[in-house]
């Protein structure tokens, strides 16, 4: 039985359902990031109400603290953090490269020192899969090297081929699991390398395909160009995931090119910093123009946070450094993202995605 | 019509109902503290679920930030912070003395500089009442001087008599309000002064009587002694409020002596610092003994936080400095306090308060 049902499409935009052991995910879907077994400053009951159907957990953080063996003993990440819908975990690769100290890369894997206490670890493709199995992740990601941007063709080629070898080892290590394993397309901004990477992965037959090596500092049009030539190479009957993306306009542009799944820290990180997403773009709630504003931060948006609290109250909370400020804006921003995804899904179903996206973007930018 | 209905009593312990414009409060009652228009790290919908029926707001903080005039324009503190049950506000007196810089006390009132920006303010009894009216507080407290501990008989006498003069001015300034005004008994640890203070206040006829000048560093037995001779002087048909108290054993001892209402920052402040209240006393969740504990922090307690999350998960959140840790423990601690109050109320109704308190204290200490 397929793990992905394609319900509708509107040009390249797709409306589907990803099926997992812990339930279905309506796509296009946005996954809030729960790095250390918590979506920062948001309780799981509140998160459920936002319409979130899947969370992302970070393998690197969880293996270091509290440790995947402990989480495994507790019945997996779902029980540990009280989230009983699907969870996707990244492979840890990205954080090994961006956060840890003294990395040593070999064909076998990566040796590194923890950014928390300097303790030494070796992560191989097999180890990454073992950790993600311990977490009981519904969607496991292959361990890969996220090619930095920019990269020469040679660098990108070597890096991609290493990731493809590791993908094969991940696939083998994953054998027998009831959960799903996604392959990650690499190849930087080179269409021949993306093509080679996709063919390698399809040959191994993954449950879904992520486009990796993007959202690493490249301009938006560069990212869209990569999607323009990569997405058509991917099988129609599998979900497609754009890792680490992004801003609302990034998401809309990627959906238009055939992407189904997204994750990003932006709604929660911005929320803690006093930035709120609105239909007219982002606002900084600390701005003194909100001090006396006895109305919603966004009368166009509709959610229990901005429907309940005035801009002035939220401004006051940040001004007084009250934790509730970050809690409420994080929640508001997740609602904003999930409502955007709902509207995207409805517009695809009704074959009016392009009109929806033009209207959204003309207000937003 | 009386604002207080005495339903039951068990020796000196009282079970009653305080009636306000925003609803009834079952007593003995505990009021979580919402200093700056938020109970720190707890949303109002979550707070409602704990069984809290009244919150305390701090006049001093709110007058400085965001300003009581702004809150008044927004329809009062209830609407501003989305809490539609009763609110009691203190008079600002205590914080003027403990937080502000360069105070100048006169018979007229107190001139002080804000601890936030050094701006100058003058608070008089009339001004304190005006601010609390702007907040639309259901229960307004008289502006008083909280006599420091220890104080000589002369100091305590002068201070108490100033507060009694101010109480009269507060009563006059409050005329015509539909809300309630509580007088505050002062007199430090001197029974003759407490007696004089109570008689002055009763003469003015307040809606309720607070015992002030306690919870300022005196030993528990000293506090209980003051209650022993003060409570019998207070009218039976009015609620009695012990300000700023306290730990569970303080509350039980004060209920035994006839107190009806309490407020304290302890459950939320402790919660943010990783301290959890349990039936066996407080625990520090950061202690490494909780690292692997796959069970509740307190199997004896019953609330959605400790019933849902393992000790190990809460330990992990604090270890990883995640906001959710402080959020969940604050909420747990408020549940603990409200469940304690529920048990106290039930035990008074069933004339078994003494047995309940002995059992509670023998486990707790």
Summarised one tens digit per residue, pLDDT across range B82-106 is 999 999 999 998 888 788 777 899 9
Contact check, Cβ <8 Å, A294/B73: yes
Residue A282 distance to chain B (closest CA, Å): 23
The catalytic position among A90, A144, A207, A260 is A90
Give the pLDDT confidence score for residue A102 in this predicted structure: 72
Q: Are residues B335 and B189 in the same domain?
A: no
Q: Are residues B197 and B84 in the same domain?
A: yes
Could you report the per-residue pLDDT of B192-205, keeping only the tens digit for each?
999 999 999 999 99
Could you report the per-residue pLDDT of A95-124, keeping only the tens digit for each?
887 887 678 999 999 999 888 888 999 999
Chain A residues within an 8 Å CB radius of B61: 320
Q: Are residues A302 and A321 in the same domain?
A: yes
Give the pLDDT confidence score for residue B96 in this predicted structure: 82
Q: Which residue of A has its CA nearest to B295?
A: A74
Q: Give the residue among B125, B194, B136, B195 at the shortest CA–CA distance from B165.
A: B125
CATH of the domain at B90: 3.20.20.105
DSSP code string of B79-106:
HHHT--S-EEE--SHHHHHHT-EEEEE-
Q: Are residues A241 and A288 in the same domain?
A: no
Chain B residues within an 8 Å CB radius of A292: 70, 73
Strand order in the sheet with A4-10: A4-10, A13-20, A23-27
Question: What is the rounded CA–CA span in Å between residue A55 and residue A68?
Answer: 17
Suggest the residue from A313, A318, A325, A335 to mutate for an interface test with chain B (most B CBs closer than 10 A).
Answer: A313
Q: Are residues B174 and B271 in the same domain?
A: no
Interface of A with B in 36-75 (CB under 8 A): 36-38, 40-43, 46, 61, 65-66, 70, 73-74
Give the pLDDT confidence score for residue A98 in this predicted structure: 82
Helix (H, G, I), strand (E, B) or coil at A121: strand
Tens-of-pLDDT digits for all 365 residues of chain B? 689 999 999 999 999 999 999 999 999 999 999 999 999 999 999 999 999 999 999 999 999 999 999 999 999 999 999 999 999 999 998 888 788 777 899 999 999 988 888 899 999 999 999 999 999 999 999 999 989 899 999 999 999 999 999 999 999 999 999 999 999 999 999 999 999 999 999 999 999 999 999 999 999 999 999 999 999 999 999 999 999 999 999 999 999 999 999 999 999 999 999 999 999 999 999 999 999 999 999 999 999 999 999 999 999 999 999 999 999 999 999 999 999 999 999 999 999 999 999 999 999 98
Q: Are residues A322 and A217 in the same domain?
A: no
Total number of domains in chain B = 2
Cβ contacts of A13-16, under 8 Å, gap ≥ 24: A13/A255, A13/A256, A13/A258, A13/A344, A13/A348, A13/A353, A14/A240, A14/A255, A14/A258, A14/A260, A14/A348, A15/A345, A15/A348, A15/A349, A16/A239, A16/A260
Q: Are residues B177 and B275 in the same domain?
A: no
Q: Which residue of A has its CA nearest to B322?
A: A40
The residue segments making up the domain with residue B89 are 28-213
Could you report the per-residue pLDDT of B67-87, keeping only the tens digit for each?
999 999 999 999 999 999 999
Contact check, Cβ <8 Å, B316/A36: yes
Alpha helices in chain B (DSSP H): 44-49, 59-64, 68-73, 77-81, 93-98, 125-134, 153-174, 191-204, 220-230, 248-256, 266-272, 311-319, 323-349, 353-364
Q: Are residues B171 and B313 in the same domain?
A: no
Q: Are residues A271 and A254 in the same domain?
A: no
Q: Are residues A330 and A233 in the same domain?
A: no
The C-alpha angle B168, B173, B178, rounded to 5 degrees, equals 110
Give the pLDDT confidence score for residue A1 in this predicted structure: 60
Q: Give the residue among B162, B223, B219 at the shortest CA–CA distance from B188.
A: B223
User: Looking at the complex, does the CB of residue B84 fall below 8 Å from at least one CB of chain A?
Assistant: no
pTM comes to 0.97
Question: What is the rounded CA–CA span in Å between residue B356 and residue B132?
Answer: 37
B213, B229, B250 - which closes a domain: B213
User: Torsion angle of alpha carbons B63, B67, B68, B73, nearest 10°?
Assistant: 180
Give the pLDDT confidence score for residue A97 in this predicted structure: 78
Give the pLDDT confidence score for residue A124 in this predicted structure: 96
Helix H or strand E segment including A63: helix A59-64
Contact check, Cβ <8 Å, B36/A320: yes
Q: Is a pLDDT exceeding 80 seen at residue A234? A: yes
Give the pLDDT confidence score for residue A94 in this predicted structure: 86
Residue B14 lies in a domain: no
Q: Which residue of B has its CA nearest to A46?
A: B46
Question: Could you tell me the two tokens for B170?
Answer: 């507060």
- Interior/surface letters B13-39, b for 16+ CB within 10 angstroms, e for the rest: bbbbbbbbebeebbbbbbbbbbbbbbb
Cβ contacts of B337-343, under 8 Å, gap ≥ 24: B337/B30, B337/B32, B337/B248, B337/B267, B337/B277, B338/B30, B338/B50, B338/B51, B338/B52, B339/B51, B339/B301, B339/B302, B339/B303, B340/B30, B340/B248, B340/B251, B341/B28, B341/B29, B341/B30, B341/B51, B341/B251, B342/B51
Q: Are residues B209 and B133 in the same domain?
A: yes
A264, A295, A321 - which closes a domain: A264
User: Looking at the complex, does the CB of residue A17 fall below 8 Å from at least one CB of chain B?
Assistant: no
Could you report the per-residue pLDDT of A19-72, keeping only the tens digit for each?
999 999 999 999 999 999 999 999 999 999 999 999 999 999 999 999 999 999
Q: Are residues A71 and A202 in the same domain?
A: yes
User: Looking at the complex, does the CB of residue B321 fall below 8 Å from at least one CB of chain A?
Assistant: no
Question: What is the rounded CA–CA span in Å between residue A261 and residue A240?
Answer: 6
Question: Could you tell me the two tokens for B191?
Answer: 């029974």
Q: Does residue A146 contact residue A97 with C-beta atoms inside 8 Å?
A: yes
Give the pLDDT confidence score for residue B118 in this predicted structure: 87
A218, A238, A264 - which closes a domain: A264
Suggest the residue from B313, B315, B328, B332 to mutate for an interface test with chain A (most A CBs closer than 10 A).
Answer: B313
Residue A340 distance to chain B (closest CA, Å): 25
Catalytic positions of B, please? 90, 263
Question: What is the rounded CA–CA span in Å between residue B4 and residue B201?
Answer: 17
Contact check, Cβ <8 Å, A73/B38: no
Whether the complex's predicted ipTM surpasses the cut of 0.90: yes
Q: Give the residue among A158, A161, A136, A230 at the shortest CA–CA distance from A189.
A: A230
Contact check, Cβ <8 Å, A41/B323: yes
Give the pLDDT confidence score for residue A2 in this predicted structure: 86
Chain A residues within an 8 Å CB radius of B42: 324
Give the pLDDT confidence score for residue A96 in this predicted structure: 82
Could you report the per-residue pLDDT of A113-153, keeping only the tens digit for each?
888 888 999 999 999 999 999 999 999 999 999 898 999 99
Contact check, Cβ <8 Å, B324/A66: no
Give the pLDDT confidence score for residue A63 in this predicted structure: 96
Contact check, Cβ <8 Å, A324/B82: no
């Amino acid at each position: 039985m397929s793990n992905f049902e394609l319900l509708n499409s509107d040009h390249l935009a797709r409306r589907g359902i990803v099926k997992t052991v812990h339930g279905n995910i309506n796509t296009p879907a946005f996954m809030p990031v729960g790095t250390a077994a918590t979506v920062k400053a948001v309780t799981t009951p509140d998160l459920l109400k936002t319409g979130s159907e899947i969370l992302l957990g970070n393998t690197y953080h969880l293996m270091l603290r509290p440790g995947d063996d402990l989480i495994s003993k507790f019945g997996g990440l779902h029980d540990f953090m009280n989230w009983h819908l699907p969870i996707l975990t990244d492979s840890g690769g990205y954080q090994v490269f961006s956060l840890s100290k003294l990395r040593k890369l070999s064909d076998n894997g990566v040796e590194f020192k923890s950014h928390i206490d300097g303790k030494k670890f070796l992560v191989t493709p097999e180890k990454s899969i073992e950790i993600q199995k311990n977490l009981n992740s519904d969607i496991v990601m292959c361990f890969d090297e996220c090619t930095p941007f920019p990269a020469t063709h040679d660098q990108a080629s070597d890096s991609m081929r290493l990731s493809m070898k590791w993908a094969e080892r991940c696939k083998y290590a994953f054998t027998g699991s009831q959960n799903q394993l996604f392959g990650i397309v690499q190849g930087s901004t080179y269409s021949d390398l993306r093509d080679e990477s996709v063919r390698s992965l399809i040959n191994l037959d993954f449950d879904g395909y992520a486009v990796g090596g993007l959202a690493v500092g490249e301009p938006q049009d560069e990212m869209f160009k990569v999607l323009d030539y990569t997405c058509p190479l991917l099988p129609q009957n599998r979900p497609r995931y754009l890792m680490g993306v992004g801003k609302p306009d990034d998401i809309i542009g990627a959906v238009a090119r055939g992407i189904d799944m997204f994750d990003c820290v932006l709604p929660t990180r911005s929320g803690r910093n006093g930035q709120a997403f609105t239909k007219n773009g982002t606002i900084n709630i600390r701005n003194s123009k909100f001090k006396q504003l006895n109305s919603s931060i966004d009368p166009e948006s509709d959610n229990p946070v901005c429907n309940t609290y005035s801009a002035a109250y939220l401004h006051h909370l940040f001004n007084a450094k009250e934790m509730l400020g970050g809690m409420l804006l994080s929640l508001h921003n997740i609602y904003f993202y999930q409502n955007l995804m709902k509207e995207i899904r409805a517009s695809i179903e009704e074959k009016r995605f392009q009109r929806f996206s033009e209207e959204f973007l003309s207000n937003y930018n």
